[in-house]
């Protein structure tokens, strides 16, 4: 094979930014391409790329196969095809990239081809602004009209949260009033891994896999464990208030971001394929990459999201933390800016958008779909402990957990039905749609 090794760091990989700020607005590429193929004619597309762009030899991954995928994605002499999703991460020499793009445009069996980008965990760990400490409480368990009326009254009175039994986030979304638990529903969290020895997750983790070369699924960052806790933490944690939305959901933990909090589109793709093959009803992705005003959503993620929806799986993703409200508001990050992926904004304890939460200013798929608690969220931490974190990353698993509850209540519902039910059940807020979408997430 003529392909030679490639130094991917030459394409601008930058270290994880622990405070969630963006220090370099340039787009970060790996040098590879993500290619989507016609499901009925994969080989024609691959053969066209072989002959015109001399792509690296193709290794195939099927179903729940995951052995050596992380290493395959790192090899500069191998392209990886995820057969179930009809998607490939393609290695090509720099001088052949133009040939790849022109072939993809001309070849009907190639649906889309885009450069692979870096993605990052999306927490805010260095707060720059304190939120208002008064906020509405939602306590009615009656019909929608009565519940909304009481919520408006509570908002006017501004009572404070008492978090001795339930986190403020679970109270805000009315999880404390729901009898649903997520039993029998699988939630896949694609993140920095999980603390598999955390007592709160004992007997709850159905499957794990690391797609990060040289790293096990153990969470050396903390982001993934925290998100998994919010989505599916236990009804009776070892310490502190209940913090998990769906305490009996089955956990699928895919490590697609390194212990430094960074990963690639290819690793995300690998995690998505693995999660779908394992029967996940929900995929939660508290990760992303910054987009510019006016930038369109990535076709590759959008088409993949449609394919997962057809298989009954809903994808939910963080809207991003690039803003500094009110003067500086940035568009929804990728891949949350795809029309077929639910984009989640973060709310503070006043049930208002957090200062960092991105907004739906790009349109054409880049809208906010729903908003959830994302400020000072209490959840699990590596080492068997607990911690508070803020970010759209923290809001996203609240939504994943509620989707699991909806799936439990409606086992025969399609993925589109689950998405529609989630949005129709939200509590309308007074903030603009571009900031909060359908409104405040609510449990069924």
Enumerate the active-site residues: 191, 223, 393
DSSP label at residue 295: P
Paired residues of 288 in beta bridges: 120
d(CA 352, CA 135) in angstroms, rounded, equals 9
Place of tokens 């597309």: 45
How far is Cα 346 from Cα 356, in angstroms, rounded to an integer? 8
CB atoms within 10 A of CB 67: 9
Could you give the CA distance from residue 317 to residue 14 in angstroms, rounded to a whole number? 22
Neighbours of 412 (CB within 10 A): 6
Task: Give the three-state DSSP class for 344.
Answer: strand
**Residue 183: C-alpha distances to residues 29, 250, 411 (Å):** 40, 7, 11
370: closest CA among 313, 296, 334, 317?
317
Contact 352, 430 (CB under 8 A): no
What DSSP character marks residue 260?
T
**3-state class (DSSP) for residue 115:** strand
- The values of phi and psi at residue 45, to 5°, are -65, -45
Whether residue 203 has a cis bond before it, omega within 30° of 0: no
Tokens at residue 258, please? 């390194």
* Whether the Cβ atoms of residue 45 and residue 34 lie closer than 8 Å to each other: no
β pairing state of 287-288 and 314-318? unpaired
Instruction: Give strand pairing partners of 388.
Output: 378
């Amino acid at each position: 094979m003529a392909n030679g090794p490639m130094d991917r760091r030459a394409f601008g990989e930058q270290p994880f930014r622990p405070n969630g700020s963006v220090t370099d607005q340039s787009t970060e590429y790996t040098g590879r391409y993500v290619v989507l193929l016609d499901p009925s004619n994969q080989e024609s597309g691959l053969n066209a790329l072989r002959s015109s762009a001399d792509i690296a030899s193709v290794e195939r991954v099927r179903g729940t196969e995951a052995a050596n995928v992380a290493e395959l994605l790192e090899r500069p002499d191998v392209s990886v095809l995820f057969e179930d999703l009809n998607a490939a991460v393609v290695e090509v020499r720099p001088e052949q990239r133009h040939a790849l793009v022109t072939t993809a445009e001309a070849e009907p069996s190639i649906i889309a081809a885009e450069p692979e980008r870096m993605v990052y965990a999306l927490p805010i760990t260095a707060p720059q602004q304190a939120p208002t400490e008064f906020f509405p409480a939602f306590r009615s368990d009656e019909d929608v009209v009565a519940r909304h009326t009481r919520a408006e009254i509570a908002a006017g009175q501004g009572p404070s949260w008492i978090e001795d039994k339930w986190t403020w986030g679970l109270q805000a979304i009315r999880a404390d009033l729901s009898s649903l638990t997520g039993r029998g529903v699988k939630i896949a969290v694609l993140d920095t891994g999980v603390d598999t020895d955390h007592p709160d997750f004992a007997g709850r983790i159905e499957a794990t896999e690391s797609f990060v070369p040289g790293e096990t699924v153990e969470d050396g960052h903390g982001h993934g464990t925290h998100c998994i806790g919010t989505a599916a933490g236990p009804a009776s944690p070892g310490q502190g208030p209940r913090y998990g939305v769906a305490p009996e959901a089955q956990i699928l933990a895919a490590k697609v971001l390194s212990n430094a909090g960074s990963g690639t589109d290819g690793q995300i793709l690998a995690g998505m394929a693995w999660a779908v093959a394992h029967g996940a009803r929900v995929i939660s992705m508290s990760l992303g990459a910054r987009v510019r005003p006016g930038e369109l959503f990535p076709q590759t993620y959008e088409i993949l999201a449609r394919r997962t929806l057809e298989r009954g799986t809903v994808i939910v993703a963080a809207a991003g933390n690039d803003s500094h409200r009110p003067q500086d508001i940035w568009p929804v990050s990728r891949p949350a800016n795809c029309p077929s992926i639910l984009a989640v904004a973060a709310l503070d304890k006043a049930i208002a958008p957090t200062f960092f939460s991105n907004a739906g200013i790009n349109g054409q798929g880049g809208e906010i779909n729903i908003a959830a608690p994302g400020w000072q969220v209490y959840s699990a931490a590596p080492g068997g402990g607990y911690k508070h974190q803020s970010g759209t990353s923290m809001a996203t698993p609240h939504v994943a957990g509620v989707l699991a509850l909806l799936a439990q209540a409606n086992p025969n519902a399609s993925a589109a039905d689950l998405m529609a039910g989630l949005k129709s059940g939200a509590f309308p807020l007074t903030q603009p749609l571009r900031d909060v979408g359908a409104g405040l997430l609510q449990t069924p």
